[in-house]
């Protein structure tokens, strides 16, 4: 992105000042006959014109979408000055002044509606513009077509486009015009309210003062509008004075918003540097950019060269989001033009390319450091995913072996045991009977061992009834007295199997070193995590030995992004805690 000033350079500021002074001088000249007798009104009106001209010139020099609003404000300042030509009461001046008033109102209304994006954004706003032209320009022509200049408070010898003079119709058209202008004002206020509700967060500091000021001007102009402003020149001049005095708040609001924008432009890059000076983690960099650009929806995606893909802040591989009118994707690259990151922003920031560019330049080094962290996190995620897949395959393999043992060797041993029992019962030879009975007992013992092995690989009760009954069965076989509390729902097989074998290791440890201890087993689910606890009141002092059973628990849980911890102070019992993310 190219750098462009969010506010004008000094040369533009000078031109804005000249435009303001020019608008003030034009107002003074156009209303000179009135100002000699109304000095206070002259001062207020000239100040309002200077403010309009300067505010318009300031925005016109921005070089971005706000410049269109600036041009419209300059036009409004010029035509507002022309409205005072009515006081000259000669030639074409009164007619030109009447239409100048309509043009100035339309220009101000359009300037606010297109600010800051530089265009009308909906049908309602376009239709309002059409209606404003109809009411403030076309309707004025109709009034002049059916009237004489003296009916409008002017001299009879001024130029006036009279076609069919009709005083009754003239009065009716004035009444209709006042009603239509009131409707136009209410419609405009509704547009301002809708615009305020739809403002993006980064637009509010500059836009809210402008919207409030515009609403105030519209309300005051509508309330002070009187019928005699069409028929009495002095009443018309008084209306212009009130309107100009109140309307000065609008350019002041524009100037206030411009100053806020200037402060944003200066402070935003510095804020990124301040926020990332102590930490350049992915989360911190995203927070700094979002805060500086006033866009809490900002999303960061980092390029991982080895995968030729992007990852999110958690290190997960993701595709670039699809293009949407409400979002803006910006790709950043390193000095050697390799991809670095993609920043997804609110589309409203398209009207602030200079600020976005300045913020990204200020945060470029932090982005580079955060990318390295994101790449490392992505690689770690891949390792964990691979470990999880291995664990899932091991679980599936245990289930397969258990089924094979139950349906294969176990059934064969059962059949062999039955045959030996039949042989012992039917043979008349005592020596054969005793050998057959002994063999049957050996086969039965082997069958019991095989059943225990099969259940240890993946006990059926774990698959059918869950962790609670499975652990209770293990505690019973180990001869332990346990207090079991389970408040978790069923989990995926890999998660349940990992939790089961980890907690079984804890029970085995109790049976081995503290067989007379009381044991408490607690299984809970909190915030998407399955938590397991095996606690005993034995002598404690258990240590995690590399390659031992307790160390294996840590390896198993880490494979599923979980954790395990052992607390075993002397004389305080042992507590094995396990945490696994729920599937």
Question: Can you give 141-163 as a three-state secondary structure string?
Answer: HHHHHCCCHHHHCCCCCCCCCCC
pTM, whole model, 2 decimals?
Answer: 0.56
Transcribe 556-567 into DSSP letters.
Answer: HHHHTT-EEEEE
DSSP 8-state symbol, 239: H
Q: How far apart are CA 364 and CA 69, in angstroms?
A: 33
Q: Which two tokens stand for residue 564?
A: 């395990």
Cα gap 147→137, rounded to integer Å: 16
Pick the CATH number of 10-266 from 1.20.1070, 1.10.10, 1.10.238, 3.20.20: 1.20.1070
Inter-residue contact 269 to 361 (CB < 8 Å) = yes
Per-residue pLDDT of the chain (583 residues; tens, 9 = 90+): 333 344 444 456 778 888 889 998 998 999 888 888 888 888 888 888 888 888 888 888 777 777 888 899 899 999 989 988 888 888 999 899 889 988 988 998 898 888 877 888 888 999 999 999 999 899 888 988 999 988 888 888 889 888 999 989 988 888 888 888 888 888 988 888 888 787 767 667 767 777 777 777 777 666 655 555 555 556 666 666 667 666 777 777 777 777 777 777 778 788 888 877 777 778 888 888 888 888 888 888 888 887 788 888 777 777 888 878 888 888 888 877 888 888 889 888 887 788 888 888 888 888 888 877 777 776 666 666 655 565 566 556 556 555 655 555 556 666 666 766 666 677 776 766 676 677 766 666 565 555 554 554 456 677 788 888 888 888 887 888 889 998 888 888 878 888 888 888 888 888 888 888 889 999 999 988 999 999 998 888 877 766 666 667 877 787 777 888 888 888 888 899 999 988 6
Q: Shortest CA distance to 571 belongs to which of 544, 543, 535, 540? A: 540
Residue given tokens 């039917």 in the structure block: 426
CB atoms within 10 A of CB 176: 14
pLDDT, one tens digit per residue, over 419-467 is 666 666 777 767 666 766 777 666 665 655 555 545 544 566 777 888 8
Rounded Cα gap, residues 521 and 575, in angstroms: 10
Return the residue matching tokens 């009916």: 151
Domain parsing of the chain, residue ranges: 10-266, 282-386, 461-581
CA distances 58 to 61, 62, 476, Å, are 5, 7, 84
Contacts by residues 405-412 (CB-CB < 8 Å, ≥ 24 positions apart): 405/450, 405/453, 405/454, 405/457, 406/454, 409/450, 410/447, 410/450, 410/451, 410/454
> Which DSSP state fits 86?
G
Cβ atoms within 10 Å, residue 431: 8
Distance from first CA to last CA of the chain, Å, rounded? 43
Among residues 385, 365, 395, which one has the least CA distance to residue 500? Answer: 395
* 361 within 8 A of 268, measured Cβ to Cβ: no
| Domain 461-581 classification at class level | alpha beta
């Amino acid at each position: 992105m190219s750098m462009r000033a969010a506010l004008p350079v000094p040369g533009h500021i000078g031109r804005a000042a000249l435009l303001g002074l020019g608008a003030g001088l034009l107002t003074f000249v156009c209303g000179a006959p009135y100002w000699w007798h109304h000095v206070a009104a002259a001062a207020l009106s000239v100040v309002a014109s200077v403010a309009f001209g300067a505010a318009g010139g300031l925005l016109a020099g921005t070089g971005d979408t706000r410049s269109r609003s600036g041009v419209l404000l300059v036009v409004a300042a010029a035509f507002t000055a022309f409205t005072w030509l009515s006081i000259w009461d000669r030639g074409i001046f009164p007619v030109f002044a009447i239409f100048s008033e309509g043009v100035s109102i339309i220009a101000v209304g359009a300037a606010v509606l297109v600010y800051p994006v530089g265009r009308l954004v909906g049908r309602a706003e376009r239709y309002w513009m059409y209606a404003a032209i109809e009411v403030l320009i076309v309707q004025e022509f109709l009034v002049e077509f059916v009237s004489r200049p003296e009916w409008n408070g002017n001299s009879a010898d001024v130029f006036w486009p009279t076609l069919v003079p009709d005083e009754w119709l003239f009065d009716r058209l004035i009444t209709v015009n006042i009603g239509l202008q009131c409707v136009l004002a209410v419609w405009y206020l509704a547009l301002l309210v809708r615009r305020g509700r739809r403002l993006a967060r980064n637009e509010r500091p500059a836009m809210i003062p402008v919207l409030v000021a515009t609403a105030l001007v519209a309300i005051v102009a509508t309330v002070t509008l009187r019928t005699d402003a069409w028929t009495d020149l002095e009443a018309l001049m008084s209306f212009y004075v009130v309107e100009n005095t109140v309307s000065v708040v609008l350019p002041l609001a524009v100037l206030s918003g411009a100053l806020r924008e200037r402060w944003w432009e200066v402070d935003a890059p510095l804020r990124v540097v301040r926020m990332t000076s102590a930490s350049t983690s992915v989360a911190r960099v995203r927070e700094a950019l979002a805060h500086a650009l006033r866009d809490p929806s900002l999303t960061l995606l980092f390029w991982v060269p080895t995968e030729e893909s992007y990852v999110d802040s958690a290190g997960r591989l993701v595709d670039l989001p699809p293009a949407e009118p409400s979002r803006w994707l910006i790709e950043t690259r390193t000095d050697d033009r390799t991809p670095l990151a993609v920043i997804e922003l609110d589309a409203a920031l398209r009207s602030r390319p200079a600020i976005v560019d300045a913020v990204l330049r200020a945060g470029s080094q932090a982005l580079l450091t955060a990318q390295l962290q994101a790449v490392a996190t992505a690689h770690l995620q891949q390792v964990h995913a691979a470990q999880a897949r291995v664990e899932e395959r091991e679980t599936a393999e245990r289930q397969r072996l258990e089924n094979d043992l139950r349906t294969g060797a176990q059934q064969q041993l059962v059949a062999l045991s039955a045959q030996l029992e039949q042989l012992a019962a039917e043979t008349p030879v005592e020596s054969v009977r005793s050998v057959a009975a002994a063999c049957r007992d050996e086969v039965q013992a082997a069958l019991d061992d095989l059943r225990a092995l099969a259940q240890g690989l993946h006990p059926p009760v774990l698959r059918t009834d869950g962790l609670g009954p499975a652990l209770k069965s293990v505690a019973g076989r180990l001869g332990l007295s346990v207090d079991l509390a389970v408040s978790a729902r069923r989990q995926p097989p890999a998660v349940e199997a990992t939790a089961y074998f980890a907690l079984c290791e804890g029970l085995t440890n109790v049976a081995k070193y503290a067989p007379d201890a009381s044991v408490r087993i607690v299984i809970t689910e909190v915030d998407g995590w399955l938590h397991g606890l095996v606690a005993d009141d034995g002598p404690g002092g258990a240590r995690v030995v590399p390659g031992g059973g307790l160390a294996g628990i840590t390896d198993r849980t880490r494979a599923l992004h979980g954790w395990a911890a052992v607390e075993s102070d002397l004389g305080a019992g042992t507590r094995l805690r396990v945490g696994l993310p729920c599937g």
